[in-house]
A = this chain, B = another copy of it.
Amino acid sequence: MSEIVTAGILVIGDEILSGRTKDKNIGFIAEYLTNIGIDLREVRVVADDEADIIAALDALRHRYDYVFTTGGIGPTHDDITADSVAKAFGVGIDHHPEVVARFRDRWSEQDLNEARLRMARVPDGAELIQSATILAPGFKLGNVIVMAGIPSIMQAMMDIVAPKLKSGVRMLSDSVRANAREGDIGGPLRDIANAHPDTIIGSYPFMDEDKKPNTNLVVRSRDPEKLNAAMTAVKQMLAGLNVAR
C-alpha cells in the first residue's frame, strides 16, 4: 500500500475577497504539491478575521496531513495570522529571540519599531522558515506551514519547507488532446472511467486555434501501469471516433 499524503491551503486576506488582489498562490502551491507527491484536497480563502482564520485552520489541520497558509504575516495591524495560529493551537506567542537578533543586524534601533517587531512574533514551539533573502520568517507549527502572501517570498518559503515534508507516492498524469467536442466523447469516456477505477479521468473543454470546441483529456493514477492502460483505452476510443466537428 502506498501512503497518500494530503494537504489543504488557507489563503488569508481581505484583499483577495474584495477582488483588489488576484491570488497567484493557490495555483503555484497546487502545482508544487502535485510535483512532490502531496495531494491537495481543499482550499479556503478567508478574511483577516481571527474567528474565521481559526475556524478554517481547525477544519483543515484536523482533516489533512498538512495545511499551507499564505498572507497576514506582515508588520501592520491587519496581519493577524501568527496570533490566530497560536490561538488555534492553544500555545503562547512572543518575539522569537533569533528573529529579533536578525532584525537588529538589519535595522537601526530607530527603524526596528513595534510594527517591524510584530514580524518577529512566532508561536511557541514553531520552527522558523527563513533564509538570508527572507526578511520576515514563516514558520511551521505542527502540521501547519505559515507563509507570506507575496508570491516571490511564498515561493522561496516553499522551497525551504518542502524537503522537510513527508510525501506520498506521486500522482502521475498523462494527457491527450482529443480533437473532439466534449459532448461527443462523454459517453465512451464514462465507460472507460468505470472500467479503470484506480485512475482519475478528467475532461477539460477549450476553444482551439481554429476556434473549434476541443477537449483535453487527463488521466491520473499513482500506478504507472494502470495509468497506461487507461490512457491506451482513451486513445483507442479517440481513434475510433467518427464524428464531424
Q: Which residues of A does B touch, CB under 8 Å?
A: 11, 14-23, 26-34, 39-48, 52, 56, 74-79, 111, 113-116, 118-119, 150, 171, 173, 182-187, 189-190, 193-194, 200-205, 218, 220, 243
Contacts and interface: CB of A to CB of B under 8 A. Distances in A.
A166 B194 CA distance: 43
A26 B21 CA distance: 11
A202 B34 contact: no
A205 B77 CA distance: 13
A68 to B, nearest CB: 13
Number of identical protomers = 2
Given A18-B31, A78-B201, A150-B205, 9 more contacts: A16-B26, A20-B204, A23-B27, A26-B45, A41-B47, A41-B52, A42-B45, A78-B200, A78-B203
A14 B44 contact: no
* Dominant secondary structure at the A interface: mixed
Contacts of A33: 19
A183 B115 contact: yes
Contact of A186 (B26, B46, B118, B194): B118
Given A23-B26, A43-B43, A202 B14 contact: yes
B18 A30 contact: yes
